[in-house]
Amino acid sequence: MNKFIDPILVLVLLLNFVALGASRMRTVIQAVAVQGMLLGVLIALAHGSLVLWVAMMALVTILLKGVVIPRMLFDAIRDVVIRREVEPIVGFIASLFLGAVGTGLAVLFARTLPIAHGDVGSLIVPAALSTVLTGFLMLTTRTKAITQVVGYLILENGVFIFGMLLMEAIPFLVELGVLLDLFVAIFVMGIIIHKISREFSSVSTQMLSELKE
């Protein structure tokens, strides 16, 4: 277990709060981009020896999470002429507070889960869970479609972090995590955002509440 992992995870957690607290969309996206790159680094570190495929995967991750997807997000903001502010349903302070609570819960819950003696003391599980919760928080409290996508990215970053535990054991799984990104990249972003922007001339999902009882 590498001694650099935990510090990086701390950074990741801080970025969660940045994403929650930031009022401008660019900042949020940048935060997620940085988080993605950090994850790429994590891959490299998590695996003891830097063999080829690990390097590959780290690279792919950094490219996807850190470059491609943020790029598409920026494009989306540019194409769609919308205000650049995040429009939260719950205020920033409140969401920060909720995020803190979520992180606390995550840590508590992680306590109840026994950790294999190899990884004792690592922040991986709490970090993963709290990131997932942060993602959910973004998903449920941000009105714009794009911010929701960002939230989703954070959520799966959390899932991805947990994958670190399985790096040596079942590397295949981590590859799956990368696949998840591709999925988001291709669909949620590429097609939907553009369609929505074309149909609704604004990417606020509050427009998207026609279908109801």
Partner 1 sequence: MAWFLFLVPLVFACVAAATPSNRWRPWLVPMGGLTHLLLTGFAVTGQPVSALKGWVVLDPISTLVLGFVSTVFFLCSLYAPAYLALRQERSNRVFCACLLAMLGMMTLVIMAHHLGLMWVAIEATTLATAPLLFFNHSPRSLEATWKYLLIGSVGIALALLGTFFLAYSSIHEGLEPTLLLEDLVHLAPRLSAPWLHAAFVLLLVGYGTKMGLAPMHTWKPDAYGEAPGLVGALLAGGVTSCAFLAILRFYQICSNAPEAAFAREILIFIGLLSMAVAAVFVIRQRDFKRMLAYSSVEHMGILVLGIGIGGVATYGALLHMITNGLTKGVMFLSAGNIHRAYESKSTDDVRGAMQRLPISGPLFLAGFLMVTGSPPGGPFISEFTILIGTIHAGKYWVAGLFLALLAIVFIGMGATVLRVVQGAPSAKAMATPYRDRPQLVIPIIILFVFALALGVWIPHSLDTLLQQAAAYLEGGHP
Partner 2 sequence: MSEWLVILGIACHAFSGVPGLFLRRDPAAGQWLAMRLAVLGSALGITGALVALWSPAQLFPVMRLDAIAVIFLIPIFLVSALGSIYGLEYWAQAEHSGNGRKLRVFYGLVTAGLAGVAVAANSLLFLFAWEVMALSAFFLVSTEDHDQEVRDAGMLYLVITHFSTLCLFALFAIWYVATGSFALGALPAGAVTPTMATVLFMLMVVAFGFKAGLMPFHIWLPSAHAMAPSHVSAMMSGVLIKIGIYGLVRMVSWLPDPPAWWGGTLLVLGTVSGVLGVVFALGQHDLKRLLAYHSIENIGIIVMGLGLALAGRSLHVTAWIVLGLAGALLHVWNHGLFKALLFLSAGSVIHSTHTRVIDRLGGLAAVMPFTALLFAVGAVAICGLPPLNGFVSELLIYLGLFRTLGIGAEPSWGVAAFAAAMLALIGALAVACFVKAFGAIFLGVARSDSARHAHESGRVMTGSMLVLAVCCFCIGLFPWAVSLVLELGIAAWVPGLNAELPALRTLAPLGWISMVAFTLIGLMFLIGLGLVRRLHRSRVTAAGTWDCGYAAPTPNMQYTASSFAQMLGSFFVWVLRPEVLVSEKQPVFPGRMHFRSHVMDVVLDEVLRPAYQIGVRISSRFHFFQAGNIHAYLAYIVIFLIVLLLWR
Chosen residue from 44, 187, 190, 206 binding partner 1 by CB under 8 A: 187
Type of residue found at 149: V
- Report in angstroms how near the CB of residue 148 gets to partner 1 at its nearest: 7
Subset of residues 165 to 184 that bind partner 1, contact rule: CB under 8 A:
165-166, 169-170, 172-173, 176-177, 179-180, 183-184
Paired tokens of 108: 């508590």
Q: Which does 89 bind (CB under 5 to 8 A by kind): partner 1, partner 2, none?
A: partner 2
Q: Is 181 exposed, middle or buried (0-12, 13-18, 19+ CB in 10 A)?
A: buried
> What phi, psi does 24 have (nearest 5°)?
-105, 140
Residue 55 interacts with, from partner 2, partner 1, none (CB under 5-8 Å by kind): none
Would you state the structure tokens that stand for residue 142, as one six-digit string? 């941000």
Token readout for 7 is 């510090």
Let me know if 63 is exposed, middle or buried by CB neighbors in 10 A (0-12, 13-18, 19+): middle
Chain-centroid distance of CA 184 in Å reads 11
Residue 144's DSSP bridge partners are: 204
Question: Which residues of the chain form contacts with partner 2 (CB under 8 A)?
Answer: 89, 105, 109, 133, 136, 139-141, 143, 148, 205-206, 208-213
Residue 134 CB, shortest distance to partner 2, in Å, is 11
85 binds partner 1 (CB under 8 A): no
Instruction: Name the segment binding partner 1 (CB under 8 A); options: 7-15, 39-47, 51-59, 107-115.
Output: 107-115
Check binding of 115 to partner 1 (CB under 8 A): yes
Residue 127 CA, chain-centre distance (Å), reads 12
- Positions that interact with partner 1 (CB under 8 A): 112-116, 128, 132, 136, 139, 145, 148, 152, 155-156, 158-159, 162-163, 165-166, 169-170, 172-173, 176-177, 179-180, 183-184, 186-188, 192, 195-196, 199-200, 205, 208-211, 213
